[in-house]
Amino acid sequence: MTPLAHILALPVRAYRLVLSPWVGHGCRFHPTCSAYALEALERHGALRGGWFAARRILRCNPWGGSGVDEVPK
């Protein structure tokens, strides 16, 4: 993972550690948005992985989809 990707991953890891236990386990996607974001950052770096993560989070809304959504290769 690039240094910038590590920096972008910090808020995701903080969310998983602090807020995720309080929010609950109601994610409609598999893998969860936070796992998706970490995998995208690791696989594609800060810019492209950050773009994939942002798109995924924007799709996570009441009118969005659900199901299996893997990080693109």
Contact 6, 49 (CB under 8 A): no
> What's the domain range around 23?
3-68
Q: For the whole model, what pTM was predicted?
A: 0.89
Q: What is the pLDDT of residues 19-58, one digit of tens each?
A: 988 887 778 889 999 999 999 999 999 999 999 999 998 9
Query: Is 73 inside a domain boundary?
Result: no
Q: What are phi and psi of 5, to 5 degrees?
A: -65, -35
Query: Is 60 inside a domain boundary?
Result: yes
The total of other beta-carbon atoms located within 10 Å of residue 38's CB is 22
Q: What's the angle, vertex CA 48, arms to CA 65 and CA 23, rounded to 5?
A: 45
Number of structural domains (the chain) is 1
Q: Where are the alpha helices (DSSP H) in 3-32?
A: 3-14, 20-23
Query: Is 35 inside a domain boundary?
Result: yes
Nearest to 35 by CA among 21, 62, 15, 59: 15
Query: Is 19 inside a domain boundary?
Result: yes
Note the residue count of the chain. Answer: 73
